[in-house]
Copies of this chain bind each other. A is one copy, B any other.
Amino acid sequence: MVNKDFSAVLKPAAPDGATILANERARSSIPVEAFSRYLLTPEYLEQQNRILKVLESDPLFKKRNQANLARPDLYKLALARAKRIRQLKDKLGWDDDEYQMAATLCDDVLPYHLHTAMFITTVAQQGSEAQKAYWMPKLEAWEVIGAYAQTELGHGSNVRGLELEARWDPRTKEFVLHSPHLTASKWWNGTMGRTANYVIAVAQLLLPVSGSGAGAKYKNYGPHPFIVQIRDLKTHQPPDSILVGDIGPKYGYNSMDNGYLLFNQHRVPHDAMLAGYSRVDPETGAYTKPKNPEVVYGSLTHVRANLVMEARLALARAVTVAVRYLSIRRQFKDKDAPQDTAAEINVLDYPTVQFRILPLLATTFALHYSGKAMGELYERTRADIEKSGDFATLAELHSTSSGLKSLCTDLSANGIETCRRAMGGHGFGGGSGLVQLNNNYLAKPTVEGDNYMITQQVARYLIKKVRELAARPNSQATTRTEESLKRFLASKDKKLSLSVFTSDEDIVQAFEWRAAYLSFKAYEKREIQKQTWNSLLIDFYRLSRAHSQSILVINFYNAIINDSNTIPSAQTRSTLRDLFRLFALSTMEAEAREFYSCGAVSNEDLDAVTPRVFDLMQRIRPHAVSLVDAWAIPDFLLNSALGRYDGKVYEELFELAHRQNPLNEITVNPDYRTDELVLGSGDGGQILSKL
């Protein structure tokens, strides 16, 4: 195609990206490697490097061309990669963390994901001892591949509204699974569309109360999990009583076979029902209640806690790309400088760009520390439950994880897009590395509890806490939230007018005060004025956001205080402080009216927040490249020409376009009067056959 490729000798105009990033790194005294070890632990970094080498040496994990693939090929590629990662796990003896690291670095949505993430854990948590003994070895060995079939075409968040029925037939001692309507089709369930041969099907358990056969009457015991084979282990075909397939292309996750599944009077044996908590007696048909229903949402809580750390990684990827590229990219001369001699300005030095990117850089740290704190809280809660059956902290964990899931996935999803737009044209290009990240990450505000809907759980918890406090104002506070509500109750009519520019403690207190104020307001509207629940949903959403923001601020502040001996260097400590302030104050600026209304911050101080944010950005700017370097995200994972560690942005963009682009193999016939598309092929109908 190319006769004489004169581009090979061309370089970018000086100074090139490599030179610029070297200068950026030289101007910050933050000890990047030590800071990385502090943030991520030496063990994590060693593991990442070791597994990175394995993946980089296997051509199956090359990412350059995958954006050109048709959707069926995207699935096949992901399936091949998923098999390879499991093969490598066996061969190299990886543990679950190492397997997860490989999946993260591969950065594809693996079609076996629901088997490992939901199917196995559900059987492990909800199966009886006998079921676990039978199934777990098969599942761990991937002898059967399972999916988790809960959501239906017509029913998502409201699990009680599911339509799939599991009717107990006492004569044959079988459950009859049946989808009464089209809307009862299972839908969205990952791994199920093409890959799985088993599912956990969540169905309404119907037990006969009188009569038999067609005239029988049933009582509904609500949704229960059933383990059901959906495809033959040899032919991989479903039986006649099951329709199953993939739901088609989506906004993202196109490597995943999200599925649909309909049952037509499909019979499964008695032991298909997972019986760890509730069971049906096969002889009498009597139902035994679950001992402790809370444990069911324990696992969802775990998933949500992980989402905070995932949000940090996703946002850190986008911010890494944005900070490096925007340091390199130059545009326009300073209008107040002599136009003949001035050089163009680095885009990251424009306030309109800093204002969008640097608060997000600060947000990555806020997410990190709350992700860590949530992980620790989850482990403590789990230990309490397992050791002593103590469910006391589960309600708090559930509320906190719901609120943080909502806030943090929004921060990341919106932040990735903000980074992409701040990068202008190249941010829209495939070389950004943010196309797939954005498309996939945008599922997060919806999955595992819609980000608006789940905020009701935070509000319910906080209203309950205010109610308890109102009933017993002198009782001992056992959590930080209770303390803060109690403090507010003691002096809620006075204006605090905290000193948010001179005291970091006051910043923290302002966030707690605002959340307490909104908690009391919600309590009053719901419990005193008896307003309807649904009319208060916007109040609840705002309350949850305020409460969750206060948690991010508290955890950030506590971490930099508690870790003051382990944070390497005074400069690092000082910059982390600035990042804390930038995160808190730019959040405060966006929510200024609430901070004013609750009396926490004066109008004059609120007017002064913007200049203070600019000061902080000036202080952080010289360290921006070092700070993103500290997240230690390998080029292999970034998969971004713009975000390359070495700064060779333009070289890589040109390489991708000129040498890695299958469209350039087509020679077009541009004459509209012929249907021929490829010159000399004579064929105009080929594309039509693919429609």
Cβ < 8 Å to B, chain A residues 445-490: 445-447, 450-453
A678 neighbours in B (Cβ, 8 Å): 76
The answer to whether B80 touches A688 (Cβ under 8 A) is: yes
Cβ < 8 Å to B, chain A residues 70-88: 70-73, 75-77, 79-80, 82-84, 86-87
**Partner among B84, B658, B663 whose Cβ is within 8 Å of the Cβ of A194:** B663
Interface-facing stretch out of A275-283, A309-317, A348-356, A502-510: A348-356
Known A7-B182, A249-B68, A654-B182: A195·B668 in contact at CB below 8 Å:
yes
Cβ < 8 Å to B, chain A residues 322-366: 330-332, 334-336, 344-345, 350-353, 355
Cβ < 8 Å to B, chain A residues 4-58: 4-7, 10-13
- CA separation between A420 and B451, bound complex, in Å? 13
The answer to whether A429 touches B668 (Cβ under 8 A) is: no
In the complex, what residue of chain B is closest to A654 when comparing beta carbons?
B182
Known A73-B690, A675-B83: A541·B246 in contact at CB below 8 Å:
no
A287 CB within 8 Å of chain B: no
A197 neighbours in B (Cβ, 8 Å): 670
A355 neighbours in B (Cβ, 8 Å): 538
Cβ < 8 Å to B, chain A residues 145-186: 145, 151, 153-158, 161, 163, 179-185
A674-691: CB near B (< 8 Å → 1, else 0) gives 110111000010111011
Interface-facing stretch out of A257-265, A374-382, A387-395, A566-574: A257-265
The answer to whether B452 touches A427 (Cβ under 8 A) is: no
The winner among A151, A425, A673 for most chain B CB atoms within 10 A is A425
Q: How large is the interface on A (under 10, 10 to 19, 20 to 34, 35 or more residues)?
A: 35 or more
The answer to whether A10 touches B668 (Cβ under 8 A) is: no
Known A179-B10, A672-B83: A251·B664 in contact at CB below 8 Å:
no
What distance in Å separates the Cβ of A202 from its nearest Cβ neighbour in chain B?
15
The answer to whether B532 touches A336 (Cβ under 8 A) is: yes
**Partner among B87, B157, B264, B674 whose Cβ is within 8 Å of the Cβ of A332:** B157
Having A79-B677, A80-B675, A428-B446, one finds 7 other A-B pairs with CB under 8 Å, namely A68-B72, A76-B666, A76-B678, A158-B344, A194-B666, A350-B534, A355-B538
Q: Nearest 8 CB-CB pairs, A to B?
A: A70-B70, A67-B249, A247-B657, A10-B182, A335-B533, A13-B181, A249-B430, A83-B672
